[in-house]
Amino acid sequence: MSEPSMLSDEMLFGLEPSRSPVRLRRLRRTEALRRVVRETRLNAAQFIWPLFVRSGTGLRTPIGSMPGVFQTSVDELVKDAGRAVEAGIGGVLLFGIPDHKDSVGSSAWDPHGPVAEGVRAIKAAYPQLLVITDVCMCEYTDHGHCGVLTGDGDVDNDATLELLAREAVAHAEAGADIIAPSDMMDHRVGRLREALDEAGFSHLPIMSYAAKYASAFYGPFREAAESTPSFGDRRSYQMDPSNAREALREVRQDVAEGADILMVKPAGAYLDIIAAVKQDTGLPLAAYQVSGEYSMIKAAAERGWIDGDRAMMESLVAIARAGADLIITYFALDAAAALRAR
Ligand code: PBG
């Protein structure tokens, strides 16, 4: 933001109240005035809608802790993709719930796994819709951690990279437009870049969950994705919520390894991180308004404690104001509808 060059507010406000020409309420008097001086505008194109896909047909299973969010089979997923196209949102982000989980998460690179099948079906029906795939092991491992385990139960960073590389290539082969690794292993952007390039996908961008915090706000997602760790937590790979400088080290590393788009996650409680990353890198920046952020607004609105639509739009505009270009949000369709109604 640039400083105004004329008389500083300090000088003007310093005058006796009756002599100061400054009255900030003048520009707030009518909606017509407010509209022309609005600094941040939301646009449907910046919304990315997360979707959960599993095998089967005709399935649309509600997630109890996320009203309005479902696990769907591929045929129902394609209907949601149609809604996304109609709403003019930026794209969708796919998460898979596999039929089979094991210690290494082998369903993650199954060319007939739910994500691969989902991508193919969406691309066949709506080739113009941007399809991003989440690359991680936690939905696919029987222990629910984001990688393979060492003998003593720690997540083995470098062994996990090889599995993520297979998963990313499987998504690319199915037709994904962007690959989005969310595992928080060190060096995964570089390893995925190398694997994608070798497999003939040097044109595919990587959107890195660069600064992803070990957050209580992921609670409802773990019901949606069936990915709650069976022991321990994710604090040895996801970031400590207390750390901001470390976020810049994380993002710089991902930039150096070739990340095309960066992400900060969660969003609402991390607006300072969004602003800092934007300033530091200048890369396209996404922010993920996670499940808990969504569910808190939904729950309070259901009880009549807040106006759900207004809280939705305020939470989104705050994320954009902090510097996010893309916003991953379960509100994507509702927010696009609200923008159209304005
Ligand atoms: C998987 C992943 C998670 C989310 C996105 N990708 C969960 C986690 O790390 O536990 C959370 C999304 C949300 O809460 O909406 N690694």
Q: What is the pLDDT along the chain (342 residues), one digit of tens a residue?
A: 455 556 677 776 777 777 889 999 999 999 999 999 999 999 999 999 999 999 999 999 999 999 999 999 999 999 999 999 999 999 999 999 999 999 999 999 999 999 999 999 999 999 999 999 999 999 999 999 999 999 888 999 999 999 999 999 999 999 999 999 999 999 999 999 999 999 999 999 999 999 999 999 999 998 888 889 999 999 999 999 999 999 999 999 999 999 999 999 999 999 999 999 999 999 999 999 999 999 999 999 999 999 999 999 999 999 999 999 999 999 999 999 999 998
**Under a CB-based contact definition with an 8 Å cutoff, are residues 263 and 286 in contact?**
yes
Ligand 1: which of 115, 136, 215, 238 to mutate, judged by most atoms within 8 Å of the beta carbon?
136
Residue 14 tokens, joined: 């310093």
Can you tell me whether residue 90 is helix, strand or coil?
coil
21 found inside a domain: no
291 CB within 6 A, ligand 1 = yes
Nearest atom within ligand 1 for CA of residue 134 = 6
Answer whether residue 266 is part of any domain: yes
Q: How far is the CA of 218 from the centre of ligand 1 (A)?
A: 6
Confirm whether 18 is domain-assigned.
no
Which two three-digit tokens encode residue 296?
């808190």
Tell me how far the alpha carbon of residue 129 lies from the centroid of ligand 1, in angstroms: 23
Q: How far is the CA of 50 from the centre of ligand 1 (A)?
A: 11
Nearest to 148 by CA among 110, 184, 114, 103: 103
Report the candidate in 80, 37, 74, 75 with the shortest Cα–Cα distance to residue 53: 74
Say if pTM beats, i.e. exceeds, 0.85.
yes
User: What is the Cα Rg of the chain in Å?
Assistant: 22
CATH classification of the domain holding 155: 3.20.20.70
- Sign (positive or negative) of CA dihedral 313, 317, 318, 320: positive
Domain assignment of residue 52, yes or no: yes
From the CB of 218, is ligand 1 less than 6 Å away? Answer: yes
For the chain, the domain total comes to 1
Instruction: Establish whether residue 293 lines the binding site of ligand 1, counting it when its CB lies within 6 angstroms of any ligand atom.
Output: no
Question: Is residue 8 included in any domain, yes or no?
Answer: no
Calpha distance 245→258 (Å, rounded): 21
- In a domain, residue 240? The reply is yes
**Domain presence at residue 57:** yes
Q: Which residue has a Cα nearest atom 5 of ligand 1?
A: 182
Angle at 183 between CA 180 and CA 185, to 5 degrees: 115
Residue 250's domain comprises 40-341
Residue 334, in any domain of the structure:
yes
